């Protein structure tokens, strides 16, 4: 191999012959150092012998390395060989170390991003979004409110990565609510947090759950070790006198205009057997079959993914209220259509709507019930107490437990109800509502028991 003393100019001017794939220009000053020219590239290389075998190492591109630096590197490589070391192995180790350092930096950044993004606050928001997507608007609103009031104000805990949240932190949140005298709210908060963590924990394995819960990396539920807080069962029921006053307040006896829309909703919930207000307010004109006087509600309560159809074969007074609401809704739509110069659109009309565009808010009706309660005086009551009163009085009329469960759309579940009991209970529910209307009329008239009410026996199993 002919050698010449390399200079910057010689390195610059050196090129490979066109008939060869590569060519070398060896340095006379530093043994083993050369410039290698290939198609479109030139680089400094070092060639030596280790244990009698040739080895060749690329130092670097001539545009990145100066000649002096290349000579320093070549001398270093020769020293390594003289000491019996393989420079190639050392290079691999250095590259591996650099790669490991880079990977560690990327992992640290990813963990930092996770800690900033997948916090307890974000998990709470994702769980609420999952409820909304499942059509559980009421549950979503209640859950969001609990998190907003009792979790998010505690920024240190709320901004902790969800997977790093401890049972002590959850216990502190629940304890603060409980010590404020809000026993039920504390129990509800614990329940909601547990549900959020359990949902994220199952997400990687349950295809029915949203994939955006998987990155939270939840492997255990910190709420599990915190004892559940028993919710005190309600005991309040209205007396006959209180119920009479309640009905009278809603009917607004002596007023030509009659009950307002919220009052009508309260009355219909009562006369239809103590229905849940949220379900009743979601009813549409198309849900009422005037020929059979049947109102269809949709029960989305509980863990069911699809609302369950809940049919109410109404007694005459309740059926009349619904028929009047249907008529008002259609009249309102016809008037609006005429004013806007279009054909009436009767599809999707709400049964309870002030302006016909959106359904009445349950909170509006709940607030009205509170006003009525205050107007009556005495021990306070709410819509849940009204519902409890209805079932208690239905039981006193001899309405069976099965029929009451169907009428009030209790938690009808289990293998028997879900797969085998296909009976519609239409006749039983209609008879119960007829008896119930008669009882309410008797209460209004201050009679103890109406003469035309026959106590219903237990339905045969």
Q: Regarding predicted confidence, which is higher, 430 or 256?
A: 430
Asked whether residue 111 is assigned to any structural domain, the reply reads no
Structural domain count of the chain = 3
- In this prediction, residue 302 carries a pLDDT of 55
Same domain assignment for residues 293 and 421: yes
The span from the CA of 453 to the CA of 451, in Å, is: 6
Torsion of CA 175, 180, 184, 187, to 10 degrees: -10
Same domain assignment for residues 353 and 425: yes
Same domain assignment for residues 432 and 371: yes
Structure tokens of 297?
């509600």
Asked whether residue 456 is assigned to any structural domain, the reply reads no
Of 123-137, 138-152, 352-366, 444-458, the range with the lowest mean pLDDT is: 444-458
CATH number of the CATH domain containing 419: 1.10.443.10
- In this prediction, residue 149 carries a pLDDT of 95
- In this prediction, residue 176 carries a pLDDT of 95
Asked whether residue 232 is assigned to any structural domain, the reply reads no
**Any idea how long the chain is?**
461
Percent of the chain clearing pLDDT 70 (strictly above) = 89
- Contact of 222 with 170, CB cutoff 8 Å: yes
Same domain assignment for residues 344 and 246: yes
DSSP letter string over 397-449?
TT--HHHHHHHHT----HHIIIII-----HHHHHHHHHHHHHHHHHHHTT-SS
CATH number of the CATH domain containing 178: 1.10.150
pLDDT band of 23, cuts 50, 70, 90: very high
Q: How many other β-carbons are positioned within 10 Å of the β-carbon of residue 281?
A: 23
Asked whether residue 333 is assigned to any structural domain, the reply reads yes
Res. 254: pLDDT tops 60: no
Same domain assignment for residues 273 and 370: yes
Q: How many other β-carbons are positioned within 10 Å of the β-carbon of residue 260?
A: 14
- Contact of 365 with 265, CB cutoff 8 Å: yes
Same domain assignment for residues 207 and 255: no
Same domain assignment for residues 262 and 355: yes
Q: Which of 154, 184, 216 is the last residue of a domain?
A: 216
Q: What mean pLDDT is reported for the chain?
A: 87
The span from the CA of 408 to the CA of 270, in Å, is: 11
pTM of the predicted protein model: 0.55
The span from the CA of 134 to the CA of 136, in Å, is: 6
Asked whether residue 383 is assigned to any structural domain, the reply reads yes
Q: Which of 216, 232, 253 is the last residue of a domain?
A: 216
Helix, strand, coil % in the chain, rounded to nearest 5: 55, 10, 35
Asked whether residue 416 is assigned to any structural domain, the reply reads yes
- The DSSP code for 361 is P
Bridge partners, residue 350, by sequence: 284
Same domain assignment for residues 324 and 429: yes
Q: Regarding predicted confidence, which is higher, 445 or 230?
A: 445
Q: Residue 307 is part of which domain span?
A: 240-444
Same domain assignment for residues 209 and 257: no
Same domain assignment for residues 262 and 186: no
The span from the CA of 352 to the CA of 367, in Å, is: 16
Asked whether residue 41 is assigned to any structural domain, the reply reads yes
Same domain assignment for residues 375 and 254: yes
Helix (H) or strand (E) holding 59: strand 53-61
Residue 52's SS3 state is coil
Q: Which of 42, 69, 85 is the last residue of a domain?
A: 85
Average pLDDT over residues 189-201: 95
pLDDT tens-digit readout, 315-336:
999 999 999 999 999 998 898 8
CATH number of the CATH domain containing 40: 3.30.160.390
Residue carrying structure tokens 């910057």: 8
Structure tokens of 137?
């608007």
Same domain assignment for residues 204 and 340: no
Asked whether residue 395 is assigned to any structural domain, the reply reads yes
Residue 235's SS3 state is coil
pLDDT tens-digit readout, 230-240:
766 668 899 99
């Amino acid at each position: 191999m002919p050698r010449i003393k390399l200079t910057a100019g010689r390195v610059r001017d050196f090129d490979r012959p066109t008939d060869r794939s590569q060519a070398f220009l060896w340095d006379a000053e530093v043994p083993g150092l050369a410039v290698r020219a290939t198609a479109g590239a030139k680089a400094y290389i070092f060639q030596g012998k280790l244990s009698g075998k040739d080895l060749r190492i690329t130092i670097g591109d001539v545009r990145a390395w100066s000649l002096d630096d290349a000579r320093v590197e070549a001398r270093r490589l020769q020293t390594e060989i003289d000491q019996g070391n393989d420079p190639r192995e050392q290079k691999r180790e250095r590259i591996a170390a650099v790669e490991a350092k880079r990977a560690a930096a990327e992992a640290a950044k990813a963990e930092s991003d996770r800690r900033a993004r997948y916090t307890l606050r974000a998990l709470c928001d994702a769980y609420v979004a999952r409820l909304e997507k499942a059509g559980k608007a009421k549950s979503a609103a209640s859950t969001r409110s609990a998190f907003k009031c009792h979790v998010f104000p505690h920024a240190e805990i709320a901004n902790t990565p969800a997977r790093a949240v401890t049972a002590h932190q959850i216990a502190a949140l629940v304890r603060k609510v409980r010590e404020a005298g809000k026993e039920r709210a504390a129990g509800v908060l614990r329940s909601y947090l547990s549900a959020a963590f359990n949902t994220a924990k199952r997400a990687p394995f349950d295809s029915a759950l949203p994939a955006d819960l998987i990155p939270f990396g939840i492997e255990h539920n910190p709420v599990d070790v915190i004892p559940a807080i028993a919710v005190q069962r309600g005991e309040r029921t209205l007396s006959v006198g209180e119920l009479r006053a309640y009905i009278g307040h809603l009917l607004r006896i002596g007023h030509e205009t009659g009950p307002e829309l919220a009052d009508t909703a309260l009355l219909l919930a009562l006369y239809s057997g103590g229905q849940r207000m949220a379900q009743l307010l979601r009813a549409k004109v198309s849900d009422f079959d005037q020929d059979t006087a049947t109102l269809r509600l949709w029960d989305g309560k509980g863990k069911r993914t699809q609302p369950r159809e809940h049919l109410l074969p109404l007694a005459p007074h309740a059926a009349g209220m619904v028929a009047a609401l249907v008529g008002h809704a259609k009249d309102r739509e016809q008037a609006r259509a005429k004013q806007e110069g279009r054909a009436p659109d009767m599809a999707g009309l709400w049964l309870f709507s002030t302006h016909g565009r959106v359904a009445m808010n349950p909170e509006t009706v709940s607030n009205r019930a509170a006003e009525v309660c205050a107007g009556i005086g005495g021990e306070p009551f709410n819509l849940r107490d009204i519902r409890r009163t209805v079932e208690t009085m239905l039981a006193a009329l001899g309405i069976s437990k099965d029929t009451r469960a169907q009428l009030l759309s209790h938690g009808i579940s289990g293998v028997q109800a879900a797969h085998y009991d296909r009976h519609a209970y239409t006749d039983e529910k209609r008879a119960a509502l007829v008896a119930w209307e008669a009882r309410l009329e008797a209460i209004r008239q201050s009679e103890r028991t109406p003469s035309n009410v026959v106590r219903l026996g237990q339905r045969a199993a």
